[in-house]
């Protein structure tokens, strides 16, 4: 096989692993709906349809969106260590929520996730605007990290003015949680996610060209800077839609693309995207199961479990790199 044929050959799918992944996701969905239902049929019906189902739908769609955003960001920057948290989106949403609570802004409860969503989009916009002058993916990543750190400092300053009750109110949101998710939250997020889905597919050809490197991509006619900012902007919107109702869900955007590459080692973004989406949905759903049941009747924040998954996965990947 020539080098060109080897570069363009489609990687062989790992069907047993793929089927196992789908079965695991189906099992996580079943456990989410079934575990802890009350004995009374009427009460169980209310719990299932009004509490469990919207929470499950947002876990699946939100995890899928963050997994896709992580893949988009890593592919656009050609850096497997890039994470959506460096786009300033999570911090922007958290800052908007903190300002709303600490300054007691008269925002109706139904509109509070929308305010956080707008803050997340603004945080991503500030980050991308600052990084727009970067000459390459490394510069974009460094500028994004700097802007995110600056937004984090402002967030800490706002939090310092919070009283005990306000701090307790903000804590669960800032860590990331699906507690209290309703159909209103699903109605806010799902249309945005469905609208972003075709845009994500349309971005894949540009990612395939960016994979060649900036000089080669420019040589075939791609405006590298605009394409990269457009893809990162799409990733920012995907994360912002999740941050609005749920708060920051850390590490899923890092782990899901790497898990997809483990399943399809030589694949490009076009072939990795479905698996990054599925892994993101699976990890978020399983983490939410752990948040609900490991320390029951107390419920722990979802973000604590996603961070645990991410840290363990990161250590495993570093160990594999050091031995390869």
Q: What is the DSSP string of 46-79?
A: HIIIIIIHHHHHHHHHHHHHHHHHHHHHHHHHT-
pLDDT, position 274:
93
| pTM of the model as a whole | 0.86
What does the block give as tokens for 238?
């995907």
Query: Quick one: pLDDT at residue 27?
Result: 93
**What does the pLDDT read at residue 132?**
65
Summarize pLDDT for 264-304 with one digit per residue, the tens: 887 888 899 999 999 999 999 999 999 998 888 888 888 88
pLDDT digits (tens, 9 = 90+) for 236-252: 889 888 888 888 888 89
CB 220 within 8 A of CB 156: no
Give the number of other Cβ atoms within 10 Å of residue 255's Cβ: 26
pLDDT per position as a tens digit, 66-114: 999 999 999 988 888 788 877 888 888 888 888 888 888 888 877 777 8
Query: Is the pLDDT at 7 greater than 90, yes or no?
Result: no
89 closest CA partner among 61, 60, 62 = 62
Sorted by where each starts, the structural domains of the chain and their CATH numbers stand as: 13-323 (1.10.3470.10)
End-to-end CA distance of the chain: 24
- Evaluate if residue 317 carries a pLDDT over 70: no
pLDDT recorded at residue 1: 42
Most confidently modeled range among 131-135, 166-170, 246-250, 308-312: 246-250
Contact status, residue 141 vs residue 79, Cβ threshold 8 Å = yes
Per-residue pLDDT averaged across 128-137, rounded?
67
């Amino acid at each position: 096989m020539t080098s060109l044929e080897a570069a363009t050959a489609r990687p062989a799918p790992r069907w047993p692993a793929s089927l196992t992944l789908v079965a695991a996701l189906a099992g996580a969905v079943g456990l989410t709906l079934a575990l802890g239902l009350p004995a009374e049929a009427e009460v169980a019906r209310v719990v299932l349809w009004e509490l469990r189902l919207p929470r499950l739908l947002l876990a699946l769609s939100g995890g899928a969106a963050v997994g896709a955003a992580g893949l988009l960001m890593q592919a656009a920057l050609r850096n497997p260590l890039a994470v959506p948290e460096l786009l300033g989106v999570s911090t922007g949403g958290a800052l908007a929520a903190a300002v709303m609570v600490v300054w007691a802004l008269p925002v109706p409860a139904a509109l509070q996730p929308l305010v956080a969503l707008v803050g997340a989009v603004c945080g991503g916009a500030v980050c991308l605007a600052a990084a727009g002058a970067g000459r390459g993916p490394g510069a974009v990543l460094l500028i994004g990290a700097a802007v995110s750190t600056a937004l984090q400092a402002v967030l800490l300053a706002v939090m310092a003015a919070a009283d005990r009750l306000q701090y307790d109110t903000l804590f669960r949101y800032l860590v990331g949680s699906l507690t209290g998710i309703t159909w209103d939250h699903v109605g806010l997020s799902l249309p945005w996610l469905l609208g972003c889905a075709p845009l994500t597919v349309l971005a894949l050809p540009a990612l395939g060209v960016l994979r060649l490197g900036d000089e080669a991509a420019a040589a075939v006619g791609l405006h590298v800077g605009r394409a990269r900012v457009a893809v990162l902007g799409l990733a920012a919107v995907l994360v912002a839609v999740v941050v609005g109702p749920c708060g920051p869900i850390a590490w899923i955007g890092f782990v899901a693309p790497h898990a997809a590459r483990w399943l399809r080692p030589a694949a490009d973004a076009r072939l990795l995207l479905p698996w990054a989406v599925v892994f993101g949905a699976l990890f978020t759903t399983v983490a939410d199961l752990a948040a609900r049941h490991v320390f029951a009747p107390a419920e722990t924040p979802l973000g604590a479990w996603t961070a645990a998954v991410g840290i363990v996965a990161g250590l495993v990947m570093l160990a594999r790199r050091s031995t390869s």
